Structure 1
Amino acid sequence: MGAGGAVPIVVGVGDIKNRSQKIEDAVEPMKLMLQATLVAIKDTGLSEAKAKKLQSAIESVSVVANWTWNYPDLPGLISENLGVNPSYKAISDHGGNSPAKFFDEAARRISAGESRVAVVTGGEALASLGACAAAGKMPPPGWTKPDKNAPTVDLSAVSNRAETVGTVHSVGLPIHVYPLYENGFRAHHGQSMAENNKESAKLYADFAKVAEKMPLAWNYGQPAATEDFIGTVSKKNRMICYPYPLLMNAFNNINLAGTCLLTSTDYARELGIPESKWIYALGGAGTSDSGNFWERPNFYSSPSISRSLDAGLEVSGLNKDQIDLFDFYSCFPIVPKLACKHLGFSVTDLPKPITLLGGLTSFGGAGNNYSMHALTAMVRELRNGKVRNGLVLANGGVATYQHVVCLSTHPRDSPYPKENPLPPILDDETVPSFDERAEGEATIETYTVEFSRNGAPSRGHIVGRLKSNGHRFLANHADSNTLQQLSSGVKEQIGRNGWVSTGQDGRNLFSFDIAEKL
């Protein structure tokens, strides 16, 4: 251990993909994670005897919460199957920021001498679970008995969430909120609807080409979707929430697991892990915007993304020009767009790669664990010796939680940061006052329209501002004419005036009709 503490490095990475969706081939998430961890141990290049010594020295097991299965004690189960009893065990909250956050925290513990070896892992078997559900069957015998006392993970319906002004208006899922940002971003930057759609389609077509060549990608071996196909609404690419058709939404029905294995340079030398396997953890930072999307400063920028990028680079002793490879979380096009805008990158003419995997549509959503695979891919790219520094941006919630980590082929000049430089939640941004019940003339701040499976618009979601006091409100469409105009996809709706009132069911309803008669 050096004067400033141990130097944290990644020495092993492992990924597992179970592509089969046959019920008899279904493997539970815990076992996929275990397999990925054993692959990561083997990836160190150690002999069998020394690999066993490394495994027995695992003192930290951090597990990204999964969507597939309710476990009574997932970190404990993985530890037991590894034959270790770590002093530190943790399972994350639900959020795609978790892999990077846990990676950063594991590096901190190693630097502080609290852990010799740390495992950071996560995985899903959503494709297998979906196949079982479609067949009306339970998973094969051998899956861990589920914890009946654990809360059921259901991210598919607003109605299953605790009641808020968002649930009253049936809004708040990722499919709703990210489009609110995309529309706000488009209007703020003066793009036409056609220009915005073309930009998103090109971005995701470029991502699809990356996934096409990535063996771990769920779509590997299939021709990449083209820009025209991604940007055109069709039966196979129906509109979900404007402006995003299906192929601009994350795809989560996958069976994937990944693991990063961290230790110190001292222990790696003691074991004889080749230095060609070492990748240095440089630093990390993360924070969160309000969990209530209606309490955000605006819908064209993300303070949590911007601040996490800036702080992650700063604590790592780097600037953006020193990063050779990026992987920006990409559940919807707006997340990489927000990151690129902050860093001054053109989304249509990128100076450097911003995805190693191909995005959550083409690579696969992997639940909360997408960025674990970005970390494992980054380690492999850096080991090739052609580049020096990489950055992973992991996003969670509805553009809510962020965490950035930087990795390198070279060590830091100073000890690993002792703490996250950012607060858990940003509370220093100016946010408009909010009225749960709204009455009067109003302007659309941003919006989206939800579409049914038959392609017809079904519900308008409006974030508006009252003209009388500038307060923000949420509303649904009040009438078919308003819904038709919101869903036209031709005329910019943001900035248009209308009228809002509160209905008998407690929902605010927005209409163009009354305003146009005034």
Structure 2
Amino acid sequence: MAKNDPTPVIIGVGDIKNKSLQVENASEPAALMKQAILESLTDTNLSTAKQDALMSAVDDLSVVATWTWPYPDLPDYLSKLLKINPAVRHLSEHGGNSPCQLLDEAARRIAKGETKVAIVTGGEALASLRSCTVAKKMPPPGWPAPDPNTPGSLHKIGLPIHIYPLYENGFRARRKQSIRENHEESSALYAQFAEVAKENTLAWNHGKAASKEEIGTVSKKNRMICFPYPLLMNAFNTVNLAAACIVTSAGHARSLGVPESRWVYPLSGAGSAEDPDFWKRSAFDSAPAISASIDLALKNAGLQKGQIDLFDFYSCFPVVPKFASHHLGLPTGPSDNPVTLLGGLTSFGGAGNNYSMHALTAMTRELRKGNKKFGLVLANGGVLTHQNVSILAKQPNKGSVPYADQDPHAEINLPIPAFVEKPQGQATIEAYTVQFDRNNKPSLGYIVGRLESGDRPRFIANHGDEFTLAELSSMDKEPIGRRGTVSLASDGRNLFCLDAQSHL
């Protein structure tokens, strides 16, 4: 390869875990990111002098937005901590897809000659923040003042705990699984993830693994959150984790003397998105943005599905890796080649928006071993809203292009049902979930339904009677496709009641 070869390569990766929950050890997210970046410098195997030269050449810093702390300008603050002056300082939007998106964008800039050395990083300190909150040490000692201009609000419907179960239930019904079969599948899948995390020294739950029975059994410690997901099928975000990747051109890596044994090539990236309003989606039994992103990333890398031999799929809830596995023809339950390197967001730790940065660092280390050829990381953001895929390899693209330069955005053009805010009449259940209280009792049913009249518009409703709530909470009766009546209540909510014959 020529000295001026613009092919992007990952030359250093680093991860940091601060397991301490003591207030005096409460490192802020930016401090954890700095440590991860310094770890990635060491990972290049360069001398101290050349590490200094590499850092002085950093002209591109991309940071995953943190859940933990509202920094006024996180990239600028981190640049000052690192004593660097990058021309490009970019903060992502919020979303778990961000790590793969940032890597893709940085690789493109390097391939075009716009960037010499890029750092992509992210981190969270939610466990420390919680400790400081409990100890009434806010803001945490030594942390910068928070940005006062960050309004936010939560809606009673539309939270991740509501929306992902809609898809799990829809995908289950599409595959003709019983509810119990589906629950067994999810429990076994997450038990395998837990075993992976047990062996991962960077995982929050390193050294311990919940069993399939523990994950699948609803109990006081593992209460049902929203049907069909108990707590241990939900992401665990109260962690202190950070990760970073250093990316440069093959030419610059060679001039620095970075051993080629450290090089891993980003081959391609792709992304897609659905409407952020979940009721404006085509269906609840599939995830077209996941499929489209995977397909475009494979196409841009010049690969077929069967050539990928390493995976890490985002897993805030079981349905996400199931959708990706199903599309790639892989088992939707546990398999001989697990679809996680980290251990999943429950056992490795959710790490806010930054989980997949850890997947990229893990993928880099695994590919360096030389036993596998191609790795695929799926990063998911929002409520199955944003998807980004990165494909990494130990060898560069075979073509003359240094990095896949095709359009990285996969369009989705599927019909969307009309939506009616105040439905009346006969209807069927399209998707549903039930929120449970802290005593493991069903408290509120959520129904996405379709009217039987006209062009079958979609609506959202709550349960209208106790029988309907009980049926929606059953492990033995499939609610999807069942008929009922939707009407407008005096408080303005839509209420859905299963038909009288359903009581028989």
Give the TM interval when normalised to the shorter protein. over 0.9
Aligned to 1:206: 192
Secondary structure of 1:194 counterpart: helix
Are 2:108 and 1:122 aligned?
A: no
* Separation in structure 1 between the aligned mates of residue 173 and residue 150 of structure 2, nearest angstrom: 43
Q: Pick from 328, 339, 362: which aligns with 1:343? A: 328
Secondary structure of 1:297 counterpart: coil
Q: Pick from 211, 235, 249: which aligns with 1:250? A: 235
Secondary structure of 2:54 counterpart: helix
Secondary structure of 2:444 counterpart: strand
CA-to-aligned-CA distance 1:10-44 (integer Å, 9 cap, x gap) = 00001010000011110000110011011111111
Aligned to 2:90: 90
Cα RMSD for the two superposed structures: 1.7
TM-score (norm 1): 0.94
Whichever residue aligns with residue 299 of structure 1, its letter is F
Secondary structure of 1:375 counterpart: helix
Aligned to 1:300: 285
**Following TM superposition, by how much is the alpha carbon of 1:516 offset from its aligned partner in structure 2, in angstroms?**
5.8
Matches for 1:180-259 after TM superposition, within 5 Å: 180-222=166-208, 224-259=209-244
Q: Pick from 468, 473, 476: which aligns with 2:462? A: 476
* Separation in structure 2 between the aligned mates of residue 103 and residue 126 of structure 1, nearest angstrom: 24
* Separation in structure 2 between the aligned mates of residue 274 and residue 420 of structure 1, nearest angstrom: 32
**Following TM superposition, by how much is the alpha carbon of 1:329 offset from its aligned partner in structure 2, in angstroms?**
0.5
TM-score (norm 2): 0.97
Aligned to 1:172: 158
**Following TM superposition, by how much is the alpha carbon of 1:458 offset from its aligned partner in structure 2, in angstroms?**
0.7
CA-to-aligned-CA distance 1:414-455 (integer Å, 9 cap, x gap) = 3112354325xx451111111111100100011000001111
Aligned to 1:272: 257
Name structure 1 gaps, 5 residues minimum. 153-159, 162-166
Residue identity (%): 58
Q: Structure 2 vs 1, CA of residues 72 and 349 (structure 1 numbering), >3 Å: closer, same or farther?
A: closer
Secondary structure of 2:434 counterpart: strand
CA-to-aligned-CA distance 1:346-372 (integer Å, 9 cap, x gap) = 223635331000100000000000000
Q: Pick from 264, 281, 290: which aligns with 2:266? A: 281
Contact 2:67 2:352 in 1 (8 A): yes
Contact 1:24 1:140 in 2 (8 A): no
Q: Pick from 497, 503, 510: which aligns with 2:483? A: 497
Matches for 1:151-170 after TM superposition, within 5 Å: 151-152=151-152, 160-161=153-154, 167=155, 170=156
Q: Structure 2 vs 1, CA of residues 464 and 5 (structure 1 numbering), >3 Å: closer, same or farther?
A: farther
**Following TM superposition, by how much is the alpha carbon of 1:150 offset from its aligned partner in structure 2, in angstroms?**
3.0
**Following TM superposition, by how much is the alpha carbon of 1:245 offset from its aligned partner in structure 2, in angstroms?**
0.4
Contact 1:280 1:409 in 2 (8 A): yes
Q: Structure 2 vs 1, CA of residues 429 and 3 (structure 1 numbering), >3 Å: closer, same or farther?
A: farther
Secondary structure of 1:474 counterpart: strand
* Separation in structure 2 between the aligned mates of residue 499 and residue 290 of structure 1, nearest angstrom: 28
Secondary structure of 2:484 counterpart: strand
Contact 1:12 1:262 in 2 (8 A): yes
Contact 1:117 1:261 in 2 (8 A): yes
Query: Between Structure 1 and Structure 2, how many residues are aligned?
Result: 501
Secondary structure of 1:356 counterpart: coil
Matches for 1:32-111 after TM superposition, within 5 Å: 32-111=32-111
* Separation in structure 1 between the aligned mates of residue 245 and residue 197 of structure 2, nearest angstrom: 21
Aligned to 2:344: 359
* Separation in structure 2 between the aligned mates of residue 71 and residue 301 of structure 1, nearest angstrom: 36
Q: Structure 2 vs 1, CA of residues 516 and 233 (structure 1 numbering), >3 Å: closer, same or farther?
A: closer
Aligned to 1:418: 405
Whichever residue aligns with residue 421 of structure 1, its letter is P
Whichever residue aligns with residue 226 of structure 1, its letter is S
